[in-house]
Amino acid sequence: MKPILLVDFGSTYTKITAVDIDSNTLMGTAASFTTVETDINEGLNNAIKILEEKIGKVEFQETYACSSAAGGLKMISIGLVPELTVQAAKEASLGAGAKIMKSYAYQLTKGDVREINQLKPDIILLTGGTDGGNSECILHNAKRLADLEIDVPIIVAGNRSCVDDCEELLEGKQVYVCENVMPVLGKLNVLPAQQMIRDIFLKRIVQGKGLTEAMDLVSDIIMPTPSAMLTAMELLADGCETDRGVGELVSVDLGGATTDVYSIADGSPTSLRTVYKGIEEPYAKRTVEGDIGMRYSMMGIVEAEGIGKVSQLSGLTVDRTKELLKYLDENKETIPFNEDLEHLDFALASIAVKTAVMRHAGSIEQVYTPMGETYVQSGKDLRNVKNVIVTGGALIHSKNVTEIASCALFSEDTPGSLRPENARIWVDQHYILAAMGLLSRKYPSAALEIMKREIICYGD
């Protein structure tokens, strides 16, 4: 037996997963409240005690961890045009597992710099211009960032013709230079920036999140939790050298503070009558909805469709709905303990899944041109994706998980939304996806086999 412990320091809960990679089996899982505001080690130690009650004491040979605690990896992206380099910077940041606090386009103002000082991001990604293209904007913004009062790493990933000048303007700051996120108009090149973001996360950010003391129990913190999730999704979709994956997929991770959506799919137009608008979408894409979460961002869910819709879906009166929302806002660690709370969580989760996937998926509209009727697509076309995977406490512990997950699918009431039309529902019943992303960095075949065995599939 070769036992490995995988730890996920979440914003709400610390989740641990034990696996035996000699037999490629799941030994057990446990979770405890993260306690990030006091001592993050409390949540970890409590989770280990719970795990030991299930499987006994185990001497783990390797231990790895990911983290989204204390708000996760918070970034600001800066670019030239909102639809182009700013969007490219956002794709790079989100794909690296970050949470975008704010994005800025065109030239920064002194007010913008004051705002960045107040936001106190973990990393700033400075982009702008294709290689050999516009240089005025990125140089102006570098000069503005030189006046920042906060000490924050700045990644320069813009027009290669002027990155050296940017570095000089930012002398005295923590500056990292990498390849342009958009070297050619409309073409993404986000992998170098994503790797740089992860490297900085490992070297600098972990120490600032109160996690250094936990390293006595953890061998290494490899990546932000969303990055681990994206890695797991790519492995499950595409497979590895020894085994094939399940094919293109969409995954929804419904958390207490945010809702993350992942798509591993091509997403290109499927008809010759459809033209594409905007920059190309990455094959492996992540979006994060910071205003949608089951507890910390609960009111964002309510605002998405209104208190009336929450009341209707839950079967509760509006007054009772408001009463329970107030209770949950004051008791964020609450797990439903009666039918009313179960019904309310069902409504919140349903709206959250629908809203988050609609924002992630592309859209299509019918237009008329001198050449006749045509369609304009923005974003990814996910209609042919055959797998939808859901995870997160509110989903995997729900009695109606498949009904909630079906809210990720195409609906006639929103015909322009390019969500999956006919997909199988998979449920991460043991909350192991982030752990499998960690495991796959060294043991991909074991991680894939465990996922295929432990994630329940509903449908053919």
Strands 13-20 and 3-9: antiparallel
User: How many angstroms separate the most distant Cα atoms in the chain?
Assistant: 73
How wide is the angle at C-alpha 199 spanned by C-alphas 193 and 202, nearest 5°? Answer: 145
- pLDDT value of residue 21: 92
- In the numeric block, which tokens belong to residue 444? 């991909």
Cβ-based neighbour number of residue 188 at 10 Å: 19
Q: Residue 219 — very low, low, confident or very high, per pLDDT cuts 50/70/90?
A: low
How wide is the angle at C-alpha 15 spanned by C-alphas 12 and 17, nearest 5°? Answer: 170
Q: b/e for 284-295, b at 16 or more Cβ within 10 A?
A: bbbbbbbbbbbb
Residue 205 has pLDDT above 60, yes or no: no
CA distance 96 to 122: 13
Q: Residue 195 — very low, low, confident or very high, per pLDDT cuts 50/70/90?
A: confident
Q: Is 426 left (phi over 0), alpha (psi -120 to 50) or beta?
A: beta
Q: Residues 189-196: what's their mean pLDDT? A: 87
- pLDDT value of residue 235: 97
Residue type, 315: G
How wide is the angle at C-alpha 205 spanned by C-alphas 295 and 177, nearest 5°? Answer: 125
- 214 or 262, which is more confident: 262
- pLDDT value of residue 206: 58
- pLDDT value of residue 42: 76
Q: Residues 308-325: what's their mean pLDDT? A: 94
Over residues 433-451, the pLDDT tens digits come to 999 999 998 999 999 999 9
The partner residues of 287 in beta bridges, in order of sequence, read 261
Kindly report the average pLDDT of the chain as a whole number: 87
Residue type, 263: S
Least confident of 99-103, 162-166, 336-340: 99-103
Q: Residue 44 — very low, low, confident or very high, per pLDDT cuts 50/70/90?
A: confident
- pLDDT value of residue 226: 83
Q: Residue 339 — very low, low, confident or very high, per pLDDT cuts 50/70/90?
A: very high
- pLDDT value of residue 51: 92
Q: Residue 37 — very low, low, confident or very high, per pLDDT cuts 50/70/90?
A: low
Element (H, E) at 446: helix 444-454
Over residues 385-395, the pLDDT tens digits come to 999 999 987 88
Q: Residues 318-346: what's their mean pLDDT? A: 91
CA distance 26 to 19: 5
SS (H, E, C) 6-26: EEEECCCEEEEEEEECCCCEE
CA distance 153 to 176: 7
Over residues 223-242, the pLDDT tens digits come to 788 889 999 999 999 999 88
Q: Residue 38 — very low, low, confident or very high, per pLDDT cuts 50/70/90?
A: low
Q: Residue 318 — very low, low, confident or very high, per pLDDT cuts 50/70/90?
A: very high
Q: Residue 216 — very low, low, confident or very high, per pLDDT cuts 50/70/90?
A: low
Q: Residues 241-253: what's their mean pLDDT? A: 94
Over residues 88-128, the pLDDT tens digits come to 887 887 777 777 888 999 999 999 999 999 999 989 999 99
- pLDDT value of residue 1: 86
Q: Residues 8-12: what's their mean pLDDT? A: 75
Q: Residue 10 — very low, low, confident or very high, per pLDDT cuts 50/70/90?
A: confident
pTM: 0.82
Over residues 50-67, the pLDDT tens digits come to 999 999 998 889 888 887
Strands 13-20 and 25-33: antiparallel
CA distance 175 to 164: 11
Q: Residues 83-90: what's their mean pLDDT? A: 80
- pLDDT value of residue 67: 78
Q: Which one, of 298, 317, 299, lies nearest residue 308 by Cα?
A: 317
Percentage of residues of the chain with pLDDT beyond 90: 54
- pLDDT value of residue 439: 94
Q: Residue 335 — very low, low, confident or very high, per pLDDT cuts 50/70/90?
A: confident
- pLDDT value of residue 85: 75
Residue 69 has pLDDT above 70, yes or no: no
